[in-house]
Amino acid sequence: MRVTVKLFAGLRERGGAGTRELELEAGARVGDVWARLELGDEPDGLLYAVNKRYAGREHGLADGDEVALIPPVSGGGFRLSGEPLNVAAVIAEVADERAGAVGLFLGTTRVHSRGRTVLHLEYEAYEGMAESVMEEIADRLLERYELCRVAIAHRVGRVGIGETSVVVAVSAPHRDHALAACKEAIDTLKVEVPLWKKEVYEGGEEWIGRGS
């Protein structure tokens, strides 16, 4: 079968073109695409989308599919993910020998909200802009506080009860700056980043608005 592969940013430059056509065996999955491109080691934090929807590495491909390889923004520190968030990977993004503390915030889906029983959440984002705004937030925090690094990851798509929807990690020489910056990061994210949340509950659903 034949699939079209879209490459962006540094991956486009590495591959020499923004679009590649690949012939794959029947039954091929998303995870098979990178090796066939022969572009060296797969970058950490690389995301995949099939026909403009995020897809995991085990997602099966069909003839004519478009597979987009989405490189992480700013070394992976600010990204959206259609897959469950790896908290340890986000913490690793802020590792720094200068750090004496790491502030961490996890936003999770609760089963009860505003008197309703929630079944799951659905997040939608203006991709590309959302990551850029996350980076702008981090830049302001780095100017305001004594910090080492900031990393933010947010889910898009369906997020089940108990699952993590957002991870914010901040490292700093001292804990007061790490904790204050972490709180400001999530508070600002909920106001400024173009992300929208739909609450799906027993008997209906409702867009709650921007934020986590």
pLDDT at 76: 52
What rounded mean pLDDT belongs to the chain?
90
pLDDT digits (tens, 9 = 90+) for 143-192: 999 999 999 999 999 999 999 999 999 999 999 999 999 999 999 999 89
Where are the domains positioned within the chain? 2-71, 75-210
pLDDT at 209: 64
Which residue, among 37, 44, 47, has the nearest Cα to 68 in the 3D structure? 47
pLDDT digits (tens, 9 = 90+) for 84-95: 999 998 999 899
Question: In angstroms, rounded to a whole number, what is the distance separating the alpha carbons of residues 80 and 77?
Answer: 10
- Identity of residue 16: G
Query: How confident is residue 210, by pLDDT bands cut at 50, 70 and 90?
Result: low
Average pLDDT over residues 132-151: 94
pLDDT at 147: 97
If one compares 43 and 74, the residue with the highest pLDDT of the two is 43
If one compares 75 and 145, the residue with the highest pLDDT of the two is 145
DSSP 13-65: HHHTSSEEEEE--TT-BGGGHHHHHT-SSPPTT-EEEETTEE--TTPBP-TT-
Q: Of the given ranges (17-26, 99-108, 172-181), which has the lowest mean pLDDT?
A: 17-26
pLDDT at 53: 79
Which residue, among 199, 211, 115, has the nearest Cα to 168 in the 3D structure? 211
pLDDT at 178: 98
Average pLDDT over residues 124-129: 84
Is residue 212's pLDDT more than 60? Answer: no
CATH number of 75-210: 3.90.1170.40
Average pLDDT over residues 69-75: 59
Q: Which class is domain 2-71?
A: alpha beta
